[in-house]
Amino acid sequence: MILTMQPSVLVTRRIYPEAIEYLKQHAEVDYNPTDDILSPADLLARAKGKQAIVSQLVDKFTPGVIAQLGVRIIANVAVGFDNIDIPAATERGILVTNTPDVLTDTTADFAFALLMAAARRIVEAHEFVHAGKWERWTIDMLVGQDVHHRTLGIFGMGRIGQAMARRGKGFDMRVIYHDAQPANFDAEFASKEKVLRESDFISLHVPLTPETRHYIGEPELRMMKPTAILINTARGPVVDEAALARALKEGWIGGAGIDVFEREPAIDPDLLKCRTATLAPHIGSASVETRRGMSMIAVENAVAALEGRRPKTLLNPLAWEKVYARKEA
């Protein structure tokens, strides 16, 4: 009797149960069912002998870690992949996948919700009412800024940037944007400086790369209108957090809606003190449907790689060509 060994998969942290059930139908699963982050040493020890890893943004795949991996695929449960050194993975013939599309509208909904909350002071209003401070209606109690018919500036006109732009248009906003090149989208493509100077709201949708680290720093914040509101649901290090705290404290800009931070879960203490900052704990894609969908896409990608099929949301086709195309030839 020939016994075929089942492939083995490491799931580094808790994901939706349906995704684990699906994986179990196709592989042995070494599951960390907690939210604890595996240290690089634990990650490597548990990845030994595995053919796939289902990871999250808190798992850091540096070139040093990747050099010691023998897996076929790292399936990241996120659209962002700045936690994985893609060139190092490609070099080693390791496929890397993310979870795009499923979270596009969910993240744009949240970016727009932050924009609305910051503009109309919803969190302050909520705290005010809960604290029993509401005694009478007054003409200027908790007055904020209009959103409709104002200018929405977008940096990064990819899938989520465009979904944000559509929401802005739904509010009759003028939408301007900047990106490396113009997108196929009906909005004004403008220079970075024009977007900074003319926007009432600026929403960031660029990936984190060496070029976008501190894309918004002191010079940019000083170019913005004193009433402008900055929204960041992309990645924390895209904004110089200390400069943002100073900008809010000293009134260079009017407010911010921030979901992602430079050193999550730590937040600059000065930013925490700013009443004009509406802050959230990296929950842009956090709807039940979307987080479940992200979990499923990641495990489906892992199983595809285990079965020698090209994963749907492959980030490094070169790795596929290197390893799998050669096998097929």
Minimum distance, C-beta of residue 24 to ligand DGY, in the bound complex (Å): 24
Which position among 220, 235, 262, 300 bears the catalytic label?
235
Residue 174 annotated to the active site: no
187/279 Cα distance (integer angstroms) = 28
- 103 is an interface residue for ligand DGY by CB under 6 A: yes
Secondary structure letter of residue 157 according to DSSP:
-
- Evaluate whether 221 touches 243 at the Cβ level (below 8 Å): yes
> What values do phi and psi take at 126, rounded to 5?
-60, -45
Cα angle, residue 183 at apex, residues 221 and 76 outer, rounded to 5°: 80
250/274 Cα distance (integer angstroms) = 10
- 78 is an interface residue for ligand DGY by CB under 6 A: yes
- 114 is an interface residue for ligand DGY by CB under 6 A: no
Count of beta carbons in the 10 Å neighbourhood of residue 169:
14
Minimum distance, C-beta of residue 91 to ligand DGY, in the bound complex (Å): 23
Residue 235 annotated to the active site: yes
Which position among 14, 120, 159, 282 bears the catalytic label?
282
94/101 Cα distance (integer angstroms) = 23
Closest residue to ligand DGY using C-beta atoms = 80
Which range in 13-21, 29-37, 76-84, 301-309 contacts ligand DGY by CB under 6 A? Answer: 76-84
Name which position in 57, 118, 152, 244 contacts ligand DGY (CB under 6 A): 57
**Where in 68-191 does DSSP place strands (E)?**
73-76, 95-97, 151-155, 174-178, 188-189
- Evaluate whether 311 touches 288 at the Cβ level (below 8 Å): no
- 15 is an interface residue for ligand DGY by CB under 6 A: no
- 285 is an interface residue for ligand DGY by CB under 6 A: yes
Q: Which two tokens stand for residue 301?
A: 């990608």
Among positive and negative, which fits the CA dihedral 265, 271, 274, 278? negative
Name which position in 54, 71, 79, 298 contacts ligand DGY (CB under 6 A): 79
Who's near 313: CB < 8 A, 6+ residues apart? 97, 98, 99, 100, 101, 297, 301
Q: Nearer Cβ to ligand DGY, position 201 or 261?
A: 261
Minimum distance, C-beta of residue 152 to ligand DGY, in the bound complex (Å): 21
- 271 is an interface residue for ligand DGY by CB under 6 A: no
Which range in 72-80, 115-123, 168-176, 269-277 contacts ligand DGY by CB under 6 A? Answer: 72-80
Which position among 91, 124, 198, 264 bears the catalytic label?
264
Minimum distance, C-beta of residue 106 to ligand DGY, in the bound complex (Å): 10
Residue 130 annotated to the active site: no
Name the pairing type of β-strands 277-279 and 255-258: parallel
Binders in 293-312 for ligand DGY, by CB under 6 A: none
The count of residues interacting with ligand DGY (CB under 6 A) is 6
Active site residues: 235, 264, 282
Residues making contact with ligand DGY (CB under 6 A): 57, 78-80, 103, 285
